[in-house]
């Protein structure tokens, strides 16, 4: 459930309908609530589709994690491998 005050502010500044704004806010919050493990696996699959090799992928994912709004603790290459492959 979207924060009412946040929805009101966005409605006032954008002119979007409250229902649309609530859906958008919920989507954004869901994006940032994604567990780190799920994020790492999803991004690994994405990078593999584009032909990147694991060594490069681990660096890319580590950089991406550091740029998240609420960055998780820094993960080593070994930790990333364990998340991906178990």
For residue range 30-69, what is the model confidence (pLDDT) as tens digits?
888 899 999 999 999 999 999 999 999 999 999 999 888 8
Instruction: Say whether pLDDT at 2 is over 80.
Output: no
According to the model, what pLDDT value does residue 64 have?
Answer: 94
Tokens standing for residue 15: 């002119």
The answer to whether residues 48 and 81 belong to one domain is yes
Q: Which domain does 13 fall in, by range? A: 4-33
Q: Are 51 and 64 in contact (CB under 8 A)?
A: no
According to the model, what pLDDT value does residue 81 have?
Answer: 92
The answer to whether residues 24 and 40 belong to one domain is no
The answer to whether residues 44 and 28 belong to one domain is no
> Residue 75 and residue 86: Cα distance in Å, rounded?
15
pLDDT band per the 50, 70, 90 thresholds, residue 80:
very high
pTM: 0.72
């Amino acid at each position: 459930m979207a924060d009412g005050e946040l929805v009101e502010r966005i409605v006032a500044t954008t002119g979007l309908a409250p229902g649309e704004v609530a859906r958008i806010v919920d989507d954004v919050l869901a994006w940032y609530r994604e567990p780190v493990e799920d994020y790492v696996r999803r991004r690994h699959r994405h990078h593999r589709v584009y032909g990147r090799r694991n060594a490069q992928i681990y660096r890319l994912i580590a950089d991406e994690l550091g740029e998240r709004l609420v960055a998780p603790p820094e993960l080593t290459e070994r930790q990333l491998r364990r998340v991906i492959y178990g």
